Amino acid sequence: MLTRLYIKDFALIQEVAMEFGAGLNVITGETGAGKSILMGALYSILGGQASADLVRNGAERCLVEGVFEFDDGHPAAARLQIQGIELEDGQLILRREIRANGRSRALVNGLTVPVRNLREVGGILVDLHGQHEHQTLLDPRSHTGFLDAFGDLTRRLETVAARFRDARSMERQVNRLLEERDALVEEEEFRRRLLSEIRSLAPEPGEDERLEQELRILENAESMLQTCSALFELLYQADGSIVEQLGRGRREMERLTALDPSLAATGEALEGLVYGVEDVAAQLRDYMHKLEVQPERTEHMRERLEALRRLRKKHGGTLDMALQKAVELEDQEHRTGVLDTEIGRAREEHDRVREAYAAQCRQLSVERTHAAAELAEIVERGLVDLGMPQVRFHVELHREEDPSGITLEGDERRWRAGETGAERATFILAPNPGETPRPLERIASGGEISRIMLALKEVIAERDTVSTLVFDEIDAGISGRIAAAVGRKLHNLAQSHQVIAITHLPQIASAAARHFSVRKREENGRTLTRVHQLRADERAEEVARLLAGDMVSETALQHAQEMLK
């Protein structure tokens, strides 16, 4: 609830601090004393418009600060948390600063925020009804929320929202699978061409490296034959070859070994050289027999190797990557068929969850229809008590046709539906007999709005999460029995909400738990608005003044004291 409102240099207010409490808080004062200024100040911290005209003459800036306190677990705290607002020791401080140059600043718990954020936070904390724009009742978007709160449809709404999210999730899954399949089909010809190219070459792992080595030999076969032949001659075939010379050396070593046996190992080593050269020569002879010049095979290998080079360049730079690409293309070829099966299953599941969602929407629509009729009846009865017996109040449920929407009970047409169901509610009002009913925001005056809101709040009080209600002009055009009825309803509503009401009627003022008096006076040549919280004895005098005017008689004072009792 709002526990403190501090105002400085705002219009005619030099400085005012008001300490509000639970229950009914009443503000009274003469016409023009500045009660509307207080409401304007409160409106400013709820995100209302601000201009330099609001800054008191001679001041550089004006400021308004509201302190809100919350009990543990209050539903508004959870809604604030969704907005990214954290409470500090159970408190929330809204502040608005307006400079004489027209610039303004909004703060929440000391942090600067855009004014639209202040408006969103203010909508969670306070309903202000009267001449200001901050009236949820004048916003048709809020009417469905009022109806659902009255019908106690929160659980149903949560179920509808959950089924809606399930249906949307499955719809996204179906669309994702369809997009994947469409992409595969669209690329099918290109994919098949790539795969055919790889399959026609039928490359093997490492084939390009082997071909490069073989081609190198084929391209140099003639010179290699010449080199091998010359080397064979040198080692074995020619006169004076290395084998022949090593043979002579071996015979000389045998004579030395005969004279000195210690040279036996050296002789063996020399003999090994002879056999080693003979082996190398034999291997060269065999290699020459296999080595031949093959022009046709060489050209064929060049063409194959060039084709493999183009393939690996196209698919990442290596033959292994080209082979991996072939595997991927084959997988994609099979994936189209798999996707058809997956799409069929996903569509079946989507149809199932969509029907579950539609069933919940149908039930919600039925419950809203019943709740709308009941709410209209109860509000009309309440408005009779509040001096509006001729008013006809109606809750109209609007739906929008959509070929891809859902069907509702007993209706073959298809309707657009979302997370909050298939309809939105609009409050329709006919103030007088014979008048055409029109949307509430187009015809109701400030006083009518306040009384209609009072009637609505009374029937949904237990389920309303906005804890502070402000009523301005609620007593416009009423008196006597109706004023007493308004006072009783405000008193009853104040059992579950903090209520702040501006009034001229003693029947309302006498029902208050706290009473503030607004006075306008002249000080040092300037007009100032002062606010005073009345003591018990002062309240009697104020109520008497509301009864009898400025000349308070003893009879009026006694009557006031009786009303306060």
Q: How does residue 364 score in pLDDT terms, banded at 50, 70 and 90? A: very high
What does DSSP say about strands 526-533 and 401-408: parallel, antiparallel, or unpaired? Answer: unpaired
Kindly tell me the number of DSSP H helices and DSSP E strands found in the chain.
18, 17
- Answer whether residue 133 shows pLDDT above 60: no
Mean pLDDT of 465-472: 82
Per-residue pLDDT tens for 196-240? 777 777 777 877 788 888 778 788 788 888 888 899 889 888 888
**What pLDDT does residue 199 have?**
76
Cα–chain center distance at 449:
34
Long-range contacts (CB closer than 8 Å, 24 or more residues apart) made by 98-104: 98/44, 98/50, 98/51, 98/52, 98/54, 98/55, 98/61, 98/62, 98/63, 99/52, 99/55, 99/60, 99/61, 100/52, 100/55, 100/59, 100/60, 100/61, 101/52, 102/51, 102/52, 104/50
High-pLDDT (> 70) share of the chain, %: 94
Instruction: Report residue 132's pLDDT band, with 50, 70 and 90 as the boundaries.
Output: very low
Query: Residue 169 and residue 159: Cα distance in Å, rounded?
Result: 15
Q: In the predicted model, what is the mean pLDDT of the chain?
A: 84
Residue-wise pLDDT for 475-494, tens only, equals: 776 677 888 888 888 888 88
Q: Which of 53-57, 208-212, 395-399, 520-524 has the highest mean pLDDT?
A: 395-399
Mean pLDDT, rounded, for 436-443: 78
pLDDT band at 187, cuts 50/70/90?
A: low
Q: Which of 517, 514, 506 is nearest to 536 (CA)?
A: 514
User: How far apart, in whole angstroms, are the C-alpha atoms of residue 115 and residue 112?
Assistant: 9
Average pLDDT over residues 466-471: 84
Q: Where residue 137 falls among pLDDT bands split at 50, 70, 90? A: low
Instruction: List, in order, residues 6 or more apart from 57 with CB less than 8 Å away.
Output: 526
State pTM to two decimals. 0.64
Range with lowest mean pLDDT among 78-92, 126-140, 213-227, 294-308: 126-140
Which tokens go with 555?
């009879």
| Per-residue pLDDT, 333 | 72
Separation of alpha carbons 381 and 391, rounded Å: 10
Least confident residue range of 237-251, 355-369, 408-422, 435-449: 435-449
pLDDT value for 340: 87
- Encode pLDDT of 508-555 as tens digits: 888 899 999 998 888 877 888 889 999 988 898 888 888 887 777 788
d(C-alpha 68, C-alpha 88), whole Å: 11
Domains of the chain: 1-132+465-534 (3.40.50.300), 189-333 (no CATH), 537-565 (no CATH)
Angle between helices 295-314 and 207-219 (to 10 degrees): 150
Residues 472 and 499: their CA atoms lie apart, in Å, by: 11
Helix (H, G, I), strand (E, B) or coil at 315: coil
Strands 468-471 and 126-129, how do they pair? Answer: parallel
Q: Is 564 exposed, middle or buried (0-12, 13-18, 19+ CB in 10 A)?
A: middle
In the three-class reduction of DSSP (H, G, I as helix; E, B as strand; rest coil), residue 194 is classed as helix
Q: Of 108, 98, 92, nearest to 49 (Cα)?
A: 98
**pLDDT in the model for residue 422:** 93
